[in-house]
Amino acid sequence: MQNSSEKKAFGTHLKQQPNAHQLPDSPTVLAKEFNLRYSGNPISVQAANNWLMSIAIPTQDKLQILAAWLNVSTQWLRFGEQPTESQSETLFSIPSEGISKKFEKLSPKQQLLVQELIEALLRLCCIKIL
Protein backbone atom coordinates (compact mmCIF):
# COMPACT_ATOMS: atom_id res chain seq x y z
CA MET A 1 0.00 0.00 0.00
CA GLN A 2 1.26 3.45 -0.88
CA ASN A 3 1.61 5.97 1.90
CA SER A 4 0.97 9.68 1.52
CA SER A 5 4.67 10.62 1.66
CA GLU A 6 5.41 8.29 -1.29
CA LYS A 7 2.54 9.81 -3.26
CA LYS A 8 3.68 13.32 -2.43
CA ALA A 9 7.26 12.56 -3.48
CA PHE A 10 6.09 11.01 -6.73
CA GLY A 11 3.82 13.98 -7.53
CA THR A 12 6.64 16.43 -6.80
CA HIS A 13 9.10 14.59 -9.04
CA LEU A 14 6.59 14.23 -11.82
CA LYS A 15 5.80 17.96 -11.73
CA GLN A 16 9.49 18.79 -11.94
CA GLN A 17 10.09 16.71 -15.06
CA PRO A 18 7.45 17.99 -17.48
CA ASN A 19 8.64 21.52 -16.75
CA ALA A 20 12.17 20.44 -17.61
CA HIS A 21 10.83 19.19 -20.96
CA GLN A 22 8.91 22.44 -21.61
CA LEU A 23 5.56 20.81 -21.11
CA PRO A 24 2.88 22.66 -19.18
CA ASP A 25 2.05 21.36 -15.72
CA SER A 26 -1.29 20.16 -17.07
CA PRO A 27 -3.06 16.84 -16.56
CA THR A 28 -4.58 17.10 -20.04
CA VAL A 29 -1.15 17.42 -21.68
CA LEU A 30 0.33 14.75 -19.42
CA ALA A 31 -2.45 12.29 -20.28
CA LYS A 32 -2.16 13.03 -24.00
CA GLU A 33 1.64 12.70 -24.10
CA PHE A 34 1.63 9.60 -21.91
CA ASN A 35 -1.02 7.88 -24.03
CA LEU A 36 1.07 8.49 -27.16
CA ARG A 37 3.82 6.39 -25.59
CA TYR A 38 1.81 3.73 -23.75
CA SER A 39 0.53 0.68 -25.61
CA GLY A 40 -1.98 -0.34 -22.94
CA ASN A 41 -5.34 1.20 -22.15
CA PRO A 42 -5.08 4.99 -22.23
CA ILE A 43 -5.13 6.90 -18.98
CA SER A 44 -7.76 9.53 -18.29
CA VAL A 45 -7.11 13.18 -17.59
CA GLN A 46 -8.36 12.42 -14.06
CA ALA A 47 -5.69 9.74 -13.61
CA ALA A 48 -2.98 12.17 -14.78
CA ASN A 49 -4.39 14.79 -12.42
CA ASN A 50 -4.25 12.28 -9.55
CA TRP A 51 -0.56 11.69 -10.31
CA LEU A 52 0.20 15.43 -10.42
CA MET A 53 -1.80 16.14 -7.26
CA SER A 54 -0.03 13.37 -5.32
CA ILE A 55 -3.26 11.40 -4.91
CA ALA A 56 -2.04 8.28 -6.69
CA ILE A 57 1.09 6.59 -8.02
CA PRO A 58 0.88 4.77 -11.36
CA THR A 59 1.40 1.06 -11.69
CA GLN A 60 4.93 -0.15 -12.41
CA ASP A 61 4.37 -0.53 -16.17
CA LYS A 62 3.12 3.06 -16.40
CA LEU A 63 5.93 4.28 -14.16
CA GLN A 64 8.45 2.69 -16.52
CA ILE A 65 6.93 4.51 -19.51
CA LEU A 66 6.96 7.83 -17.63
CA ALA A 67 10.57 7.35 -16.57
CA ALA A 68 11.72 6.45 -20.08
CA TRP A 69 9.83 9.41 -21.56
CA LEU A 70 11.23 11.82 -18.98
CA ASN A 71 14.70 10.29 -19.17
CA VAL A 72 14.94 9.53 -15.45
CA SER A 73 15.10 6.31 -13.47
CA THR A 74 11.91 4.81 -12.12
CA GLN A 75 13.57 4.83 -8.71
CA TRP A 76 14.15 8.58 -8.87
CA LEU A 77 10.66 9.27 -10.19
CA ARG A 78 9.04 7.27 -7.42
CA PHE A 79 11.38 7.85 -4.47
CA GLY A 80 13.78 10.64 -5.44
CA GLU A 81 16.77 8.33 -5.22
CA GLN A 82 19.24 7.57 -7.95
CA PRO A 83 20.07 3.88 -8.26
CA THR A 84 23.56 2.93 -7.17
CA GLU A 85 25.97 1.74 -9.85
CA SER A 86 25.51 -1.90 -8.86
CA GLN A 87 21.70 -1.51 -8.93
CA SER A 88 21.90 0.13 -12.35
CA GLU A 89 24.00 -2.69 -13.70
CA THR A 90 21.63 -5.28 -12.29
CA LEU A 91 18.48 -3.53 -13.48
CA PHE A 92 19.51 -2.14 -16.83
CA SER A 93 22.37 -4.13 -18.28
CA ILE A 94 22.04 -7.11 -20.54
CA PRO A 95 24.57 -9.88 -20.03
CA SER A 96 26.73 -9.61 -23.11
CA GLU A 97 29.07 -12.53 -22.57
CA GLY A 98 28.83 -14.65 -25.67
CA ILE A 99 26.09 -12.61 -27.34
CA SER A 100 28.37 -10.94 -29.88
CA LYS A 101 29.88 -14.32 -30.83
CA LYS A 102 26.41 -15.79 -31.30
CA PHE A 103 25.33 -12.76 -33.33
CA GLU A 104 28.38 -13.11 -35.61
CA LYS A 105 27.40 -16.71 -36.34
CA LEU A 106 24.03 -15.61 -37.72
CA SER A 107 23.54 -15.19 -41.45
CA PRO A 108 23.43 -11.59 -42.73
CA LYS A 109 19.66 -11.93 -43.17
CA GLN A 110 19.28 -13.12 -39.55
CA GLN A 111 21.52 -10.31 -38.29
CA LEU A 112 19.37 -7.76 -40.08
CA LEU A 113 16.24 -9.29 -38.59
CA VAL A 114 17.72 -9.11 -35.06
CA GLN A 115 18.76 -5.49 -35.62
CA GLU A 116 15.27 -4.53 -36.85
CA LEU A 117 13.68 -6.32 -33.90
CA ILE A 118 15.87 -4.49 -31.39
CA GLU A 119 15.14 -1.14 -33.04
CA ALA A 120 11.39 -1.84 -32.97
CA LEU A 121 11.54 -2.78 -29.28
CA LEU A 122 13.52 0.35 -28.47
CA ARG A 123 10.92 2.49 -30.24
CA LEU A 124 8.19 0.84 -28.18
CA CYS A 125 10.09 1.65 -25.00
CA CYS A 126 10.44 5.33 -25.93
CA ILE A 127 14.21 5.14 -26.33
CA LYS A 128 15.62 7.38 -29.03
CA ILE A 129 17.83 5.47 -31.45
CA LEU A 130 20.93 7.34 -32.51
CB atoms within 10 A of CB 67: 19
Cα–Cα distance, 68 to 64 (Å, whole number): 6
pLDDT tens digits, one per residue of 58-77:
999 999 988 888 888 888 88
Question: CB–CB of 7/77 below 8 Å?
Answer: no
Q: What local confidence, expressed as pLDDT, does residue 89 receive?
A: 43
The torsion angles phi and psi of 96, rounded to 5 degrees, stand at -105, -5
Q: What local confidence, expressed as pLDDT, does residue 70 receive?
A: 82
As a whole number of Å, the end-to-end CA separation of the chain is: 39
Q: What local confidence, expressed as pLDDT, does residue 92 receive?
A: 47
Domain segments of the chain as ranges: 4-91, 94-124
Q: Which residue stretches of the chain have pLDDT < 50?
A: 86-94, 130
Q: What local confidence, expressed as pLDDT, does residue 41 receive?
A: 93
Superfamily of domain 4-91: lambda repressor-like DNA-binding domains (1.10.260.40)
